[in-house]
Amino acid sequence: MNRDRDIMYEKLLGVNTELEQIDYDGGDYFAFQSTGYSSLEKIFDSLSMTSCDSLVDFGCGLGRVLFFVSHRYMCRVTGVEYQPELYEKLLDNEAYYHVRFGGQREKFTLLNQKAEEYEIKPADNYFYFFNPFKEMILDSIIGNILSSLQENPRKIYLIFYYCTPEYIAAMRKYPFRLKQAIRLNAYYLDPDEKCYIYTNDVS
């Protein structure tokens, strides 16, 4: 059933974001994996995004989260991908996506750089992580986000899919609260199949 849903979305969006085997020794960066569309539905059903929001996907791979969110909310999305081979394939997907949904072109940004080097924009308020790198890089990114919040206070949401114990421990150091822990469809086969959503929103 989930496989059928993945195929349906790929046809709808005009992209190919299936997991590919790429030999890659990324050091502090981990190998690419894609999030199932059924999991994305469940994750984003729990959030209240609108066309005014801006999502950044750190380690975006072939762009599945970006295309899903762009199509669903028509909001601004930014993908940061460090692996050159993946980035080239990501650009192909973007081109195919915009053939069908050209109106979103101005709200799409793709960057081939290290995640910790991304300059947080004042409008960025949703941040997505699928266990893409080691905790020290996460620490650097969270530091960048906190600096941005000092300059431009706003509500933000940090979305961690397949969140490791190391990431959970790291997040205890920062002034964010756990808004929700979502058990995803494969949770009973793999207890790590969860999504943790953190926020600075105290309401």
Residue-wise pLDDT for 145-176, tens only, equals: 999 999 999 999 999 998 888 888 989 999 99
CATH number where 72 lies: 3.40.50.150
Task: Supply 143's token pair.
Answer: 């530091």
Q: What is the pTM of this model?
A: 0.91
Q: How many structural domains comprise the chain? A: 1
Instruction: Give pLDDT, residue 184.
Output: 82
Answer yes or no: is 109 within a domain: yes
Q: Tens digit of pLDDT for each residue in 104-149?
A: 999 999 999 999 999 999 999 999 998 767 788 999 999 999 999 9
- Residue 23, domain member (yes or no): no
Q: Is residue 37 part of a domain?
A: yes
Q: Which of 73-87, 89-103, 155-169 has the lowest mean pLDDT?
A: 155-169
Q: Which residues of 157-169 are buried (b: 16+ CB within 10 A; e: fewer)?
A: bbbbbbbeeebee
pLDDT confidence of residue 1: 47
Q: Is residue 174 part of a domain?
A: yes
HEC profile of the chain: CHHHHHHHHHHHHCCCCCCCCCCCCCCCECCCCCCCHHHHHHHHHCCCCCCCCEEEEECCCCCHHHHHHHHHHCCEEEEECCCHHHHHHHHHHHHHHHHHCHHHHHHEEEECCCHHHCCCCCCCCEEEECCCECHHHHHHHHHHHHHHHHHCCCCCEEEEECCCHHHHHHHCCCCCEEEEEEECCCCCCCCCCEEEEEECCCC
**pLDDT tier, 19 (very low <50, low <70, confident <90, very high otherwise):** low
Using pLDDT thresholds of 50, 70 and 90, give the confidence band for residue 185.
confident
Residue 190 has pLDDT above 90, yes or no: no
Q: Residue 137's domain spans which residues?
A: 2-17+28-199
Decide if 22 is inside a domain: no
pLDDT for the residue 18: 84
**Residue 157 falls within a domain, yes or no?**
yes
Q: Is residue 92 part of a domain?
A: yes
Whole-angstrom distance, CA of residue 127 vs CA of residue 137? 14
